Amino acid sequence: MREAPDYSDVRTEALEEGLRLLTEVFREYAETKELTEEQVREFSQLIFDSYLERKATYFLEDRLRGFNDIMDSGVRVVLNHLFDSENKGDAFRMFYYKNQNSLVSDK
């Protein structure tokens, strides 16, 4: 099995506890039902892959939360500015890149 990335918060600690408990219960089940080592290894790998996927999701959510807040705030400011009664004419102007002159224009 691969090694899990080193990242921890409340959600990942609960996830790790769930992984530990599920692994224990599965091993007991495997012994009771006399599963082969191959079956145990394959199912254990599926459990661990699911664990890694969820942990990566938690990691990305945590790292991108600040970025999302910044983007939400920026979009809110722009939309408020564009649809403000004084700036209604500006709402239909767009900036675009003029490829031939390498300039940015707002016409």
Residue 82 near residue 90 (C-beta atoms within 8 A):
yes
Q: According to the model, what pLDDT value does residue 2 have?
A: 54
Region 41-65 average pLDDT? 93
Q: What is the dihedral of CA 47, 51, 52, 56, to 10 degrees?
A: 150
Confidence of residue 54 (pLDDT cuts 50, 70, 90): very high
> Does this model's pTM top 0.75?
no
Amino acid 46: pLDDT: 96
